[in-house]
Structures are given as structure tokens and as C-alpha cells.
Structure 1
């Protein structure tokens, strides 16, 4: 049944959004719960890692994933250049790791010194220990889109390090903060 009341909306010019529109977009998009993960790679002999909440399972056959990274970030440059990367999906108990790797100005040297991790068997990228799931990927396409790079990769390795219990919760980003599912 169509309601006759008009929607309360704000028109947006994609070519020239105002700062107010950008802020409103951020607020509204934060109302969607998203899983939290860590993207990592090894480039020029050094580990790079960052917290993300913008990733997507693209295809099951062949297994393909996508991650969105801010184009001007160290992790975007490293993942773009390395050709291989991993995505670790975190449990709610790994909030400290997510906070550390989301902090502006984290050091390049010793970046993972505060995070327990293992090396992925297919890529050698860091996989956060105790993860709900992890995927190792080989980049197939990179799509520049506005301020971000959409990086698509074929999954070349995957697994889990977490034993599921009724109290296990994924780490979620919702309303501008990290959350957990209520058991």
C-alpha cells in the first residue's frame, strides 16, 4: 500500500556535494551494521595492515572478495602494489586489535607488534589469530571510485581460527562505534 505522505529527503549533487551533505551521508551510512575486518599485505618486505568495514563477498564460484580502501592510505598503496592480501574477520573480543589498526598515525615499523597473528599459507600476509574467518586473495582488478579503491581478488586460501560458541559474536561497526551481537 503506497502512502501519500512525501519522503523527507535531501537532493545531492554527485559532482559537488556540500560538506553538510557529506556529513549527513556519513551519519546515515553509519546506521547500517557492518562486519569489521583487518586487511593486510606484505610489500617491499614490510607488513601493512588496517581496519576495514567495507568488504564484500562477490562470488562463490570462483570465490572472490572485494575490499574498499581509502585511495590516499598506506594500506591502499601497499595492497595495490603487492598483488596479494588477506582479510581477517574479527570477533567482538578483538576490538583492541581493530582500534589499534584504525588509529591514525600508527607506526610503519612494528605495526603488528601489538597484534597476535600468523602468516597465511598462500600469501604470507598476516592473519589475526583467533579470527572468525580469514581469506587470502590475489588481486584481479582495481577500480578507482571517487576517494577509494575497490580492490577485487580471487580467494587463494581461507579458514577460521575461532571455535564457535553461543557467546561468539562478530565485531560490528554500527552508529559510529564497535558493537557486538547480544548472546
Structure 2
């Protein structure tokens, strides 16, 4: 079999995927644990933030990150307009913050009123207090991919905020729920 034939997705879904196939893809994709983070940005003195688990380090030199955002979401539109964003990697203890910002229908006004944060030193975007790590990022490219925007950016500032302790664990998303590494 030629490599091109093996990669021809149209052979797998000749008419496009059915809802059952989409659901199965989602279920199988949930078998991979991923870190949970909060992405934030600021436009015209209004904060926008959301919980994400689809992000990755693209390069160490120069430090570059990518985040995948549903294209019609408030956060995707805000990040695309603002040109900068912050990504705060959460601890297992920050599950309430992750739940709040993953909930549909969160308010536009006062979105971060119940979350402890500070302003990033270079972008002024919200950095979640107590995060395992944070990155301030300037967008360098946005790519449309199916229903999502892949936002790529250069890291302009980074650090850590969590106080180390023996049972410190990242917040993970696995099997459709939040998990931790350490009991």
C-alpha cells in the first residue's frame, strides 16, 4: 500500500463522518490524558477566559505554544482579536476554577470575579494564582482547522506560581472527567 493511500481520509469516511463516528472519535480521544489549563485574554478592559485541554508546546527554541479553540466561542474570537493571551496550567486543587470556566453560559461581565488571578507583566492578561506554570503569549499565526482555530504564539513571559508540596498534582482531563496524578 502506498503512503498516500494509507493517509486518504476520504476512504475512511467517504460521505463524511456520521454522528456515531464523531461520538466514537470523541470517546477514543478521551483515552489520552491531557493537562488542563485556563486561557485568558483582555480586550477593551474586559477579561475573557476559558478552560482548555487542547494545547501543546510547539518548539523550545524559540518557545512557542499552540492552543485549539472552538472557532465560534467567545474566547476564540477574543484571542483572535487581541493578539495576545495567557495560559495557566492548573493544579488538581484548581478543579473548581476549571469547572467554572468550562461551564456554558458563564457571564461576560465579572467572569473572573470568583477566581484569584493577577495581571501578566507583559500582556496584562489574567494569570491564575497558584498555577503550576503560566505563559504569556503573543499570537504569531491562526489556522482554521475544521470547527476550530489553532492559535500559535511566541512565549514572551513565563513562570510558576504553585507552592510545591509533596502531594502537588496537575489537573488532568481523562475519560471525560478531571483527574489527578497523586492520590
TM class by shorter-chain length? over 0.9
Q: CA deviation at 1:31?
A: 0.6
Corresponding residue number in structure 2 for 1:8: none
Deviation at 1:43, TM superposition (A): 1.2
Q: Which residue of 1 aligns with 2:4?
A: none
Contact 1:32 1:174 in 2 (8 A): yes
Tell me if structure 2 keeps the 8 A contact 1:12–1:21: no
CA RMSD of aligned residues (A): 1.1
Shift of 1:13: 1.4
**Cα pair 2:67 2:151 within 8 Å, conserved:** yes
1:35 is displaced (CA, Å) by 0.1
- TM-superposed deviation, 1:16: 1.1
Spell out, residue by residue over 1:21-53, the C-alpha distance to the aligned partner (whole angstroms, 9 max, x if none).
000000000010000000000012210000000
Aligned residues: 173
Corresponding position: 1:82 with 2:82: yes
Contact residue 40 and residue 85 of structure 1 kept, 8 A: yes
Q: Name the TM-score, length of structure 2 as normaliser.
A: 0.92
| Contact 2:168–2:182, Cα closer than 8 Å, also in 1 | no
Distance 2:58 2:134 in 1: 15
Do 2:90 and 2:131's aligned partners in 1 also have CA atoms closer than 8 Å? yes
Q: Deviations over 1:51-71 (max 9, x none)?
A: 000000011111100000000
User: Is 1:135 the counterpart of 2:165 in the alignment?
Assistant: no
Distance 1:155 1:182 in 2: 29
Structure 2 partner of 1:47: 47
The answer for the alignment partner of 1:27 in structure 2 is 27
TM-superposed deviation, 1:14: 7.3
Q: Is the 8 A contact 2:137 2:156 kept in 1?
A: yes
> What are structure 1's unaligned runs of at least 5 residues?
1-10
What corresponds to 1:114 in structure 2?
A: 114
TM-score normalised over the length of structure 1: 0.92
Structure 2 Cα separation of the partners of residues 22 and 55 of structure 1: 21
Call closer, same or farther: CA 1:138–1:174 in 2, change over 3 Å. Answer: same
Which secondary structure state, in structure 1, belongs to the residue aligned with residue 99 of structure 2? helix
Q: Deviations over 1:141-172 (max 9, x none)?
A: 00000000000000001000012222000000
* Structure 1 segments (4+ residues) deviating >4 Å: none
CA offset digits 1:94-117 (Å, max 9, x no partner):
000000000000000000011000
- Give the secondary structure class of the aligned counterpart of 2:144: strand
Equivalent positions of 1:30-179 (< 5 A) are 30-179=30-179
